[in-house]
Amino acid sequence: MGGYRVNVRQQVAEHLSEVFAADTDLPEIYVVATERQLDDIHKLTIQLRGTSIGRLPQAPLSQRAIRMSAIVISAHDDLDMAVDELDEVVPLILDSFDTSFQHEDAELVQYGTHMAYTIPLTVIASKE
């Protein structure tokens, strides 16, 4: 039985790391694909968490829509500084998503003791 690409989230994380490293307008961003809660955040971080797997009506039967959340987390302990940082960098991150992924609007959330924006992404994956 054929399967879908293994660990699509990890592939997205690797792609984003390359894109962000090449973008001189962005600060250094740590990208991690994990479902666990991150406790130790020392720099701007994007966590990729899976949300659903399904089909898009217009997609061939051999493809699935892999949905995930890209959670952009500020390392600042001061909430105002964190939101200021996020308000500056999240539009640039959304611009970089425009060329690679379907995405929805970013929503400001609290992530433990940190501030973050969560951005729903959709990736189309094909059977191998």
Q: Is the pLDDT of residue 46 over 70?
A: yes
Q: Is the pLDDT of residue 1 over 70?
A: no
Structure confidence by residue, pLDDT tens digits, 14-36: 999 999 999 889 999 999 998 88
Extract long-range pairs of 29-36: CB within 8 Å, 24+ residues apart: 29/89, 29/93, 33/7, 33/9
Q: Cα dist. 26→10, 41, 107, 108 in Å?
A: 21, 18, 20, 19
Q: What mean pLDDT comes out for the span 98-127?
A: 91
Question: Looking at residue 127, what is its pLDDT?
Answer: 66
In 3D space, the residue among 69, 67, 68, 72 whose CA is nearest the CA of residue 30 turns out to be: 72
* Cα 86 from Cα 123, distance rounded (Å): 24
The domains located in the chain, with CATH, are 8-126 (3.30.2000.30)
Structure confidence by residue, pLDDT tens digits, 74-106: 999 999 999 999 999 999 999 988 888 889 999
